[in-house]
Amino acid sequence: MVKKKIAVLTGAGVSAESGLGTFRDNGGLWDKYDPQEVASIDGYYRNRALVLEFYNLRRKELSGARPNSAHRDIAAMEEKNIVTVITQNVDNLHEKAGSTNVIHLHGELTKVRPEVGVYDDTFSEKEVIDVRYDEVNLGDKAPNGSQLRPHIVFFGEAVPKIDKAIDVIGDCDVLLIVGTSLSVYPAAGLYRYAKSDTPIYVIDPKDIPIRGGNIHHIKATATEGMQEFLKIIETLN
């Protein structure tokens, strides 16, 4: 049997049932914090201590979170298919659930890198440091002597892995989108790179902002929706 190439684009909603809040739902993170202050490159240079503290809190919260069955079901699809996860999430729950091929569009919470450095479009991975769930504060320096900063794509910065994501989506047989409001570009426009006959399934309990002949909305939470999707994928040839 030829394996299907499944691209899975995920957002904060896939981790909601693991206890990590989303950004734009009522009571979400952007109700409590101003993204221009804590998640933009200008905000970072205005007040590094505040931004480092925000990500220290996120890292601490993540240390207690476990993957849910949606993360596990996505990982389990690798048994019969070629699966690439493209996530906007900075958590590590896809990897913890067993996914082996994860593209982190917006960076990774458990990693930091020097503020000053030369980065190509995949980042200079050797300069990226895994701090797991430790705090990083003002004055914590990289081996090159510059301040350590979160390995996060801030608003106002380029998204280095977008080209890789475009290639994966352009080449996939099925595109699955889980738990994203599709409101932050360029990630929000990625689905347009799917071939016109590629079926697109979107799992989200709310109405979704995209429509089209080949777009199917599974109106459910990530864990419920994945159960449904696993049945659908068996019927697709």
Q: Which is nearer to ligand OAD, 22 or 92 (CB)?
A: 22
Q: Which of 140, 76, 219 minimizes the C-alpha distance to 85?
A: 76
106 is catalytic: yes
The alpha carbon dihedral of 90, 98, 201, 13 has a sign of negative
Q: Which is nearer to ligand OAD, 27 or 143 (CB)?
A: 27
- Distances in Å between the Cα of 121 and the Cα atoms of 13, 44, 160, 163 are 27, 21, 5, 9
97-118 burial, b at 16+ Cβ within 10 Å, e below that, comes to: bebeebebbbbbbbbbbbeeee
Q: Which is nearer to ligand OAD, 35 or 117 (CB)?
A: 35
Q: Is 17 helix (H, G, I), strand (E, B) or coil?
A: coil
Q: Which is nearer to ligand OAD, 139 or 230 (CB)?
A: 230
The alpha carbon dihedral of 102, 175, 188, 218 has a sign of negative
Q: Which of 67, 60, 63 minimizes the C-alpha distance to 14?
A: 67
Which among 71, 104, 106, 151 is annotated as catalytic?
106
Contact positions vs ligand OAD (CB under 6 A): 11-13, 16-17, 22-25, 28, 35, 39, 88, 106, 153, 155, 179-181, 183-184, 203-206, 221-222
Query: Least distance from C-beta 70 to ligand OAD, angstroms?
Result: 7
Q: Which of 64, 66, 59, 55 minimizes the C-alpha distance to 133?
A: 59
The residues annotated with a catalytic role in the active site are 106
